[in-house]
Structure 1
Amino acid sequence: MIDVLSILLIAAGLVFFAAGTAGLLRFPDVYTRLHALTKADNLGLGLVVLGLLIRADALAPMFKLVLVWALVLVAGAAACHLVAQRAWTRLDGEDRS
């Protein structure tokens, strides 16, 4: 039963990764692309980590998985902010509406 649940969670995470990639390719502007990518990737990675957590046999690998997920969340938010800020400053001479 644990194997099936783990596979389902990991597969759901991969579906969210694919949806984020599709959003990155299909949405019209940088802000909607960033929104789709960061939301889908954060949830996708969370589901993959959860699927792997229930398979972990010790506390150390569990801690490492959660730490990696937390670091990716922080790095993704920082990168998204930097890209959005750069896109905003490039619009200085253009109409922002």
Structure 2
Amino acid sequence: MIDIFSYFCIGLGLVFWFWGTWPLLGDRSVLFKLHSLSVADTLGSMLMIVGLLLKIPREWPLLVLALIALSIWNTVLGYVLAYCSTGGRDA
């Protein structure tokens, strides 16, 4: 049962990865495209790591560290992109 849930998480993570790249083909703003891509990639990567955590629980310290790093660094990257897009002025 855990193997099925693990594969489900990994598969859903792949779906999020591909779903996040779909808006890149549209004609919306660059910031919208980057935002949707980064959110979908973050969620997809986190789901894959959760799937790996279920599959190989002996590696939990590294996988939890990867989850924390993904959530912090992708959030910080979003704020940096938003700050840079405003030209450094307060939004």
Q: How does the TM-score come out when normalised to structure 2?
A: 0.80
In structure 1, the gaps of 5 or more residues are 93-97
Partner Cα separation in structure 1 for residue 78 and residue 57 of structure 2: 34
How far apart are 1:27 and its partner, in Å? 5.4
In structure 2, the gaps of 5 or more residues are none
Aligned residues: 89
Q: How does the TM-score come out when normalised to structure 1?
A: 0.76
> Alignment partner of 1:11: what SS?
helix
- In structure 1, the partner of 2:42 is 42
- Cα displacement string for residues 60-84 of structure 1 (whole angstroms, at most 9, x for unaligned residues): x112111112112211111111112
- Report the RMSD for the aligned CA atoms in angstroms: 2.1
2:74 aligned to which of 68, 73, 76: 76
1:20 and 1:38 in contact (8 A); partners too: yes
Over 3 Å off, 4+ runs: none
1:30 and 1:87 in contact (8 A); partners too: no
- In structure 2, the partner of 1:95 is none
**Percent identical across equivalent pairs?**
33
- Residue 82 to residue 44, structure 1, CA distance change in 2 (3 Å): same
- In structure 2, the partner of 1:87 is 85
Partner Cα separation in structure 2 for residue 81 and residue 22 of structure 1: 22
